[in-house]
Amino acid sequence: MTAIGIMAPAMFLALVVFLLIGLPVAFSLAALGLASGFVAIELGLFPPQFMANLPYRVFGIISNELLLSIPFFTLMGAILERSGLAEDLLEGFAQLFGGLSGGLAYAVIVVGAILGAITGTVAASVIAMGVIALPIMQRYGYNARLATGVIAASGTITQVIPPSLVLIVLADQLGRSVGDMYLGAIGPSLAQIFIFLIFIFLVSVFSPKSMPPMPQADRALRGWRLAKAVIRAVLPSMALIFIVLGTIFMGLATPTEAGAMGVVGAIGLAAGHRRLTWPMVREAMETTMAITVMVIFILIGATVFTLVFQGVDGGLWVEHLFTRVGANDAVTFLIVVNILIFFLAFFLDFFEIAFIVVPLLVPMANKLGIDLVWFGVLICVNMQTSFMHPPFGFALFYLRGIAPRSIKTADIYIGAIPWVGLQMLLVAILIFFPELATGLLDRPVSGNLQSFEIQLDQNEAGAEAEAQSSAAGPDAARNPPADDPADYFKKK
């Protein structure tokens, strides 16, 4: 094997070792990329001038206006997490569904989906729902594994529902617009909610004691009072969803502008709930700063690594790997990729997968003719599981941090397993039914563009030709244009 054939697998294995040791991801990527670049130059695998591309790529990241939407959406979610909106939503939907077996579970999933469409961050949804809903579900006798599983799953829906941060990052990595990624995610996100609700219904039918209905005495709101409570909770949320998503889909605002308007709306909601204080704003800004800096540093490190990796023909090495396992058609490739990402999610979070793994897979996906919006949404759905994987799922960590000591850690981990299976069920559905992701996208123009003709009115065409002939003079009449206009003008 030649030196260039060794470098790519050596870089990949070294990266795996660095991550398993627990070194910071951003600095591991950058250090490994630079060190490998120097080795490649010494071995003559590419000239020193190749590394001159690095400053341009780093500047491209810093000047990318699309990435500016990440701090806006993060700040919006951090403010809404502390605004009291989740309490109002859960109270209204708990009263609405409380009479059903599993009513609180239905309410948690629906409210989690609404919060996901507003906040765009998993942590905000899981923590808010855990603090509010878990004590209530315990009080009414819900099974601990079922209650924690429902809450964790309701938070991870945020990963798929626009305005998900993951979709913004994937749009940047795949070279597609954020609007297309959001449109592609609408169908899968609704399907995910529907699958979760069906699962709750089946559990309530076969094991009603594990999720009993709320007692009649605790369901005080009825009729117009109940409708008023639900409308009062949902209306501000719908207005904020329109400000953020509606303006993007209608072409009235870019994702960055929509995120900025969302922050203003979140501040208004917090003020309306009398939760807008300087300590709350300061805490939200600190959270936003930490997440934004982490994303940018990981992206810069990943850029250094992927530049050198592609320079030593790492893309060809990845392509040969998939060819050897028989993944040389679209469906097999997607199955293998999703199995790979499923296991990588045990050790890497979604930012690391998006910045490290996805750029290595895009050339192969393009070669197989896979729609990149479909590909990105599929990866996004799969990366939901990174928050639910025992033992490293962040949603489980968030839940463990706020759950009472009476709930065992083993119950949280075991309770997450069925929901991971439901998420992988959606992955399988998406692989074989891509229309779920691509159905709302604009269709490319079909047919032979050369066959289109523009028909002119004969009278107008004749008058226009006469005017041109008289303007050109008598020479034009003696030398009519040839078949090729360029030849005519050459002769003239």
pTM of the model: 0.77
CA distance 400 to 393: 11
Full pLDDT tens readout for the chain, 492 residues: 555 678 888 888 888 888 778 788 888 888 999 999 998 888 888 888 888 888 888 888 888 777 888 888 888 878 877 777 777 777 778 777 777 888 888 988 988 888 888 776 677 677 777 777 888 888 888 888 888 889 888 888 888 888 888 888 888 888 888 888 989 999 999 999 999 999 999 998 888 888 888 777 666 666 677 777 778 778 888 888 888 888 888 888 888 888 889 889 888 888 887 888 888 889 889 988 888 888 888 888 888 888 888 888 887 887 787 778 777 788 888 998 888 888 887 777 777 788 888 888 888 888 888 889 999 999 999 888 877 876 667 778 778 777 888 888 888 888 888 999 999 999 999 999 988 888 877 655 455 545 555 555 555 555 555 555 555 555 544 454 444 444 433 443
Q: What is the pLDDT of residue 448?
A: 54
Q: Are 312 and 7 in contact (CB under 8 A)?
A: yes
Sequence spans of domains, the chain: 1-440, 453-491
User: What is the Cβ-side half-sphere exposure of residue 162, based on CA atoms within 13 angstroms?
Assistant: 29
Q: What is the pLDDT of residue 201?
A: 92
Tell how many helices (H) and how many strands (E) occur in the chain: 25, 0
Q: What is the pLDDT of residue 444?
A: 53
Q: What is the pLDDT of residue 449?
A: 47
Helices (H), ranges, 273-408: 278-311, 314-324, 330-344, 350-352, 358-367, 372-383, 394-402
Q: C-alpha distances in angstroms, 443 versus 180, 227, 371?
A: 12, 41, 12
Residue that the structure tokens 């003079």 belong to:
473
Which structure tokens are listed for 201? 């219904």
